[in-house]
Amino acid sequence: MNNKVLMSGNEAIARGAIDAGCRFYAGYPITPQNELTAYMALHMPQEGGVFIQAESELAAINMVYGASAAGARAMTSSSSPGISLKQEGISYIAGARLPAVIVNMMRGGPGLGNIWPAQSDYFQATRGGGHGDYRCIVLAPSTVQEAYGFTRFAFSAADQYRNPVIILGDGMLGQMMEPLQLSDKALLKTENRQLKTKKWALTGCKGRKPNIVKSFYMAEGDLEKANLALQKKYRAIQEKEERFESIFLEDARVVLAAYGTMARIAKGAVVELRKRGKKAGLIRPITLWPFPRKAFQGLLRTHRRAKLLVVEMSYGQMVEDVKLALECKLPVEFLGRSGGGVPAEAEIIKEVNRLIR
Amino acid sequence: MEKIYSRPESLRSAPTHYCAGCGHGTAHRLIAEIVDELGIREKTIGVAPVGCAVIAYDYWNFDCSEAAHGRAMAVATGIKRVGPDKVVFTYQGDGDLAAIGTNETIHTANRGENITVIFINNAIYGMTGGQMAPTTLLGQKTATTPKGREYAAEGYPLKISEMLALLPQVKYIERVSLHSPQETMKAKNAIRTAFQNQIDHIGFSLVEILSPCPTYWGLTPKEALDWIRDTMAKEFPLGRIK
């Protein structure tokens, strides 16, 4: 059966969530992610799920906390200023070890900023964002197809690790329409049947001891124990879940690093540079946390004379992770714009040419 | 000999951390008795607030969730929508429900979520050391109103229950008190109604309980009960509001 459709990135994320068995969504209007909310409003009830337009981002994320605590696959979405508001709830979700998927279709900041695409929330997404020692798994799709597929993966990762997962896109990916191959319905059914029973969920204490969902530890030493358990989980995620894509890496003298929408433009630049015989390559992190450190550390053995060029729609946030992964042993340059500007292919090519000379 | 009074199954055998004369222990017990009497312990899910009652789940013997300060009703909304056959209630103080969570309170009520809300009004923030609450009385001295609450600077005591009564989907609101055995029995009846309403799919029900906080009122436990009767209940009249 041909399941090819034309969809925006926002709609593809919503579809991916529903196909992954998400049955609870709460959101609050904010541009540029409103198509996602509208898709959920229409389709979630048709799937027997719950859609709520919440009174605020705070309420939305805390409804997701409740729905997840009750055992449902649950999601909320927003864009940068709204995601700042959700940080309280994300911290509680992380602390209570609840699975949840949070979508941030980033726009320009700080403050109200504007509604143009940006990647300025990288620090917020990858460093935890709210209070406390915690991490969210962060996935960065660069196409509408990936927006769909990564969202489905996000739900299984969230359940597996009992951890919040962030889909970090931007306004351009959200608004862009591309052909999308939906997964076969039968396959989805099989996948969703494999959903594990959540023994910790609040379903009523029939035939068992009461379950408690909490992140408060008052007795001496208890919080430290809980935090050490989280840290152990994060190490396991770091070990197993690093994901990236690379192209033209073999003999590259300049290795670009870019994610999401920016990686598409960087990819275009690399292809063009190769046509001109310039040895450029690209590493595209797919998981921003865990950051694909091994991909960069490999360069220390194989590309000892290469230079790095990190390209972002921000003023240099991922560049710090690249430097950390490389332990500053290779030169790392940066090209970035934010607040409405997007580094163009021609700008990247010019910068690579300057570095190769 | 026949045993006529014992601990409800819904209450764990644990000493509470509450101060002498505090109302929380009584309120916890009333809820536990009602949950037992209605036979709903195995499908009840409580949502504990941030505040003195944060570890209420250490005392209740059924499923519970914590919620961030003020967000209990949003959390309860998520739980109830996912499990409409469950009995879901929040237990919130005045700061939680009527200050930081006012938005959640109004909109949960306005959506007519079929949940039960137990609202503990003791006119003070207890856990943080006795600061002014939205329900603090005029003239009442607190850590943050050292000269007493003044309407010109701090506003009047907020009557959130009367405000919520304006909403069409709010089905039941009653204000009760724990200042005497008679009033405590009335409180229990109100709690029963609020839970029964949920079971009968009637809709959003709230019980406001005037509850003593002798520690931060600077009174003895006995004086605190008298203060509710003589002063607090004048500002917050007892009885059915809706």
Average pLDDT, integer, range A71-88? 98
Reduced to 3 states, what is the DSSP secondary structure of residue B55? helix
B136: DSSP letter: P
Q: Which residue, A34, A14, A38, is CA-closest to A180?
A: A14
Which residues in chain B come in under a pLDDT of 50?
none
Asked if residue A259 has pLDDT above 80, the reply is yes
Contact B82 A204 (CB under 8 A): no
Phi, psi of A60 (to 5 degrees): -60, -50
Alpha-carbon distance B57 to A17, whole Å? 32
Residues in chain B, overall count: 242
Residue B63 is given by DSSP the state E
Q: Where are the domains of chain B?
A: 24-240
C-alpha span between A133 and A95 (Å, rounded):
9
Q: What is the pLDDT of residues A264-307, one digit of tens each?
A: 999 999 999 999 999 999 999 999 999 999 999 999 999 999 99
Is A131 in the B-facing interface, judged by CB distances under 8 Å?
Answer: no
The reported pTM is: 0.97
Mutate to test the interface with B, among A51, A64, A131, A214 (most CBs of B within 10 A): A214
Instruction: Determine how many CB atoms are found less than 10 A away from the CB of residue A357.
Output: 5
pLDDT band at A204 (very low <50, low <70, confident <90, very high): very high
The domain A244-356 is placed in CATH, from the list 3.50.30.40, 3.40.50.920, 3.40.50.300, 3.10.180.10, at 3.40.50.920
Chain B: residue nearest A205 by CA? B42
B113 in Cβ contact with B77 (< 8 Å): yes
Burial class (CB in 10 A: 0-12, 13-18, 19+), A228: exposed
* Interface contact A59-B74, CB threshold 8 A: yes
Select the residue of A55, A88, A206 nearest B107 (Cβ to Cβ): A55
Residue type for position B156: Y
Taking only the tens place, the pLDDT of each residue in B70-114 is 999 999 999 999 999 999 999 999 999 999 999 999 999 999 999
For the segment(s) B24-240, the CATH number from 3.40.50.970, 3.40.50.2020, 3.30.70.580, 3.40.718.10 is 3.40.50.970
Q: Do B71 and A202 touch (CB under 8 A)?
A: no
> Does the pLDDT at position A195 exceed 70?
no
- Rounded to whole angstroms, the Cα distance separating A89 from A327 reads 34
pLDDT at A357: 80
Contact B55, B5 (CB under 8 A): no
- Interface confidence, given as ipTM, is 0.97
pLDDT digits (tens, 9 = 90+) for A5-27: 999 999 999 999 999 999 999 99
Our CA-based measurement puts residue B173 at a distance from the nearest CA of chain A, in whole angstroms, of 22
Residue B150, CA atoms < 13 Å, CB-side half-sphere: 5
CATH of A4-200+231-235, one of 3.90.1150.10, 3.30.70.270, 3.30.70.420, 3.40.50.970: 3.40.50.970
Q: What mean pLDDT is predicted for residues A113-137? A: 97
Question: Rounded to an integer, what distance in angstroms lies between the CA atom of residue A36 and that of residue A51?
Answer: 12
- Single-letter amino acid, residue B167: L
Q: How far apart are CA A16 and CA A216, in angstroms?
A: 33
DSSP labels, A287-349: EEES--HHHHHTHHHH-TT-EEEEEESSSSSHHHHHHHHHTT-S-EEEEE--SS----HHHHH
- The number of angstroms, rounded, from the C-alpha of A38 to the middle of its chain's C-alpha atoms is 21
Best probe of the B interface among A88, A131, A212, by most B CBs < 10 A, is A212
Residue A204 has its nearest CB partner, among B42, B61, B66, at B42
Q: In chain A, where are the structural domains located?
A: 4-200+231-235, 244-356
| Closest to A90 (Cα-Cα) out of A279, A242, A289, A232 | A289
Instruction: Tell me whether residues A59 and B103 touch, CB distance under 8 A.
Output: yes
| Helical (H) or strand (E) element with A226 | helix A222-240
Burial tier of B10 (Cβ tally within 10 Å: 0-12, 13-18, 19+): buried
Q: What is the 8-class DSSP label of residue A56?
A: S
- Determine the pLDDT at residue B1: 84
Average pLDDT over residues A113-136: 97
